[in-house]
Copies of this chain bind each other. A is one copy, B any other.
Amino acid sequence: MFKKAKQNRVFQDVVEQIQDAIINGKLEPGAKLPPERELKDMFNTSRGTLREALRVLEQKGLIEIKLGVSGGAIVKLIDTEPIIESLALLIRSGGVSLEHLAEFRIKIEGSLMELAASRATKKDIKELETLFNQAKAYYENNDWENFLKTDEKMHTYIGIMTRNPVFQFVQKSIHDNIHRYYAEYLPMNKKRSLENLTDFEKIIDAMKINDAKTASAIIMDHVKRFSDKMQEKTRSKP
């Protein structure tokens, strides 16, 4: 008959009020909240409780706290960082294996490439070619560090080409979380880099003739090959 009188922890109420203000656009990114000692009075709470609320908002990625004069809590643009972090926790806790991730990556990068290729503008292709030529130059100079960085940029740019933020952040999450394994188990060498370059060249060619299916197939095979190699390595030295 009656609803349970909800036990609201005070800091939760503060979190909700500030969060709602941010989501509803009453507080825009960059806006500065009043100092703790003023907020505490506005919410009629203690400084300790208010600080717990600020900690939660900070953890959610909604605000950023700066020290010193003219410091304080500043509203952030909501981004994918908290999602990536939560996913990393889940992976690190052992709920997800490298095989699981690789399998997912093959499928998602396939879908992603298909979308990207089907939406590629001439400008996009030009941008990819610029990146490709940079990567090629680094390859020829045996500059693996910059080669890898450029390779990463190409993957990211293909994500952007989908024009869909969900694909963008899923790819970023996967890459962020898989990256340290690659670095540890699969150092770059001339042969592997050349494979990379060849694959990307084929992808760009497929995009030029609007062949999304082929582009997708190439990236899936590309990811599959690398995942297989990495899993060989991890199995040999657990």
- Among B23, B61, B95, B111, which residue has its beta carbon within 8 angstroms of that of A108? B111
- Among B56, B90, B165, which residue has its beta carbon within 8 angstroms of that of A100? B165
B residues less than 8 Å from A60 (CB atoms): 59, 86, 89
Copies in the complex: 2
Stretch of A77-85, A147-155, A194-202 at the chain-chain interface: A77-85
A159 within 8 A of B: no
- Among B11, B100, B107, which residue has its beta carbon within 8 angstroms of that of A111? B107
Stretch of A35-43, A47-55, A132-140 at the chain-chain interface: A47-55
Taking a contact as CB atoms under 8 Å apart, the answer to whether A107 and B96 are in contact is no
A92 within 8 A of B: yes
Taking a contact as CB atoms under 8 Å apart, the answer to whether B89 and A23 are in contact is yes
Taking a contact as CB atoms under 8 Å apart, the answer to whether B164 and A103 are in contact is yes
**Who on chain B is nearest to A80 by CB?**
B90
Taking a contact as CB atoms under 8 Å apart, the answer to whether A100 and B164 are in contact is yes
Query: Nearest-CB distance from A70 to chain B (Å)?
Result: 18
- Residues of chain A at the chain B interface (Cβ within 8 Å): 11, 19, 22-23, 48, 51-52, 55-56, 59-62, 78-80, 82-83, 86-87, 89-90, 92-93, 95-96, 100-101, 103-104, 107-108, 110-111, 114-115, 164-167, 169-170
